[in-house]
Structure 1
Amino acid sequence: MQLNKLIAMRDGHRRLISRELARFDSTELTTSEYERLLHMIVEEAEEVRTLNDKIVNHNDIEDLSSELVEGKSYSFDLELKIQRLRDNLNKRIGNKEEITSNVSQDENNSGQPEPDKEIVCVFRN
C-alpha cells in the first residue's frame, strides 16, 4: 500500500478519535453509552497503532526517526487519556453500586418496602 494512503488513513482515524473524545466532555452519557464509546475509541487506537507500524516499516519512509517519535508520542498521550476515561468509568460503576447498596439497606431498615419509584432522565443539548 502507498505510504501517502497509510498516512491519510491514520490521520482519519486520529480525527475520529479526537471527535469522539470530545463527546465525553460535551455530552451527558449514560454509563453504558460511556462504556461503549470508550470501547470504540480503544478499537480505533489499536487501528492507529497498526497503521503506525505499517508506516514505520514502509520502504518509502524518508524520515523514520521523526515518524517514529511522532507516532509513539500520539499513542502514549492517547493511552493516558484512555486510562483516565477507564478510571472515570470505574468511579461511575462504583458509585452506581454504592447507591444501589444504600437503597437496599434503607429498604431493609425501614421494615416496610417502599413503592416503586419513577426514574426521570434529563438530556441536555
Structure 2
Amino acid sequence: MQLNKFIAMRDGHRRLISRELERFDSTELTTSEYERLLHLIMEEAEEVRTLNDKIVNHNDIEDLSSELVEGKSYLINLELKIQRLRDNLNKRIGTKEEITSNVSQDENNSGQTETR
C-alpha cells in the first residue's frame, strides 16, 4: 500500500510542476517572480526525484525497469526545461543590468555642460 501512496504523491508533484511551468508562458512575471517560481519548481523536482528513489527501491515494485526508465526520462526532460528557464532568467538579468547601466550613464552625461 505504501507504494501506491508514493506513486500518487509523485503524480501530484508532477501535475503541480506542469501547471507552474505553464505560468512562464501564460503570465507576465517580474524578474524576481520568475526567479522565485523557478526556485520553487526546482524544489518540486527534488521531491519527485526523492519519490522516484523510494518507488524503485520499494519491495513491492513489479516492473522495476519500466518504472526506472519512465522516472528518469521525466527528470531528464524536466532538467532540460529548468536549464532553459535558467538561461532565460540570466538573459533577463543581463538585459536589466545593461538597461540600468545605460540609465546611469545617461544621468551622468546629462549633468555635464557642453562646451563649444
Fold-level match, TM-score > 0.5? Answer: yes
Give the structure with the larger helix fraction. Answer: 2
1:36 Cα offset (Å) = 0.4
Residues in 1 aligned to 2:54 and 2:28: alpha-carbon distance in whole angstroms: 37
Residues in 1 aligned to 2:39 and 2:110: alpha-carbon distance in whole angstroms: 41
Runs of 4+ residues deviating >3 angstroms: none
Residues in 2 aligned to 1:102 and 1:79: alpha-carbon distance in whole angstroms: 34
1:43-101 superposed Cα distances (whole Å, 9 cap, x missing partner): 00000000000000000000000000000000000000000000000000000000000
TM-score, with structure 2 as normaliser: 0.94
Residues in 2 aligned to 1:110 and 1:10: alpha-carbon distance in whole angstroms: 57
1:103-123 superposed Cα distances (whole Å, 9 cap, x missing partner): 0111111226xxxxxxxxxxx
TM-score, with structure 1 as normaliser: 0.88
- Aligned-residue identity in percent: 92
Residues in 2 aligned to 1:48 and 1:111: alpha-carbon distance in whole angstroms: 55
Structure 2 unaligned segments of length 5 or more: list them. none
Aligned length: 113
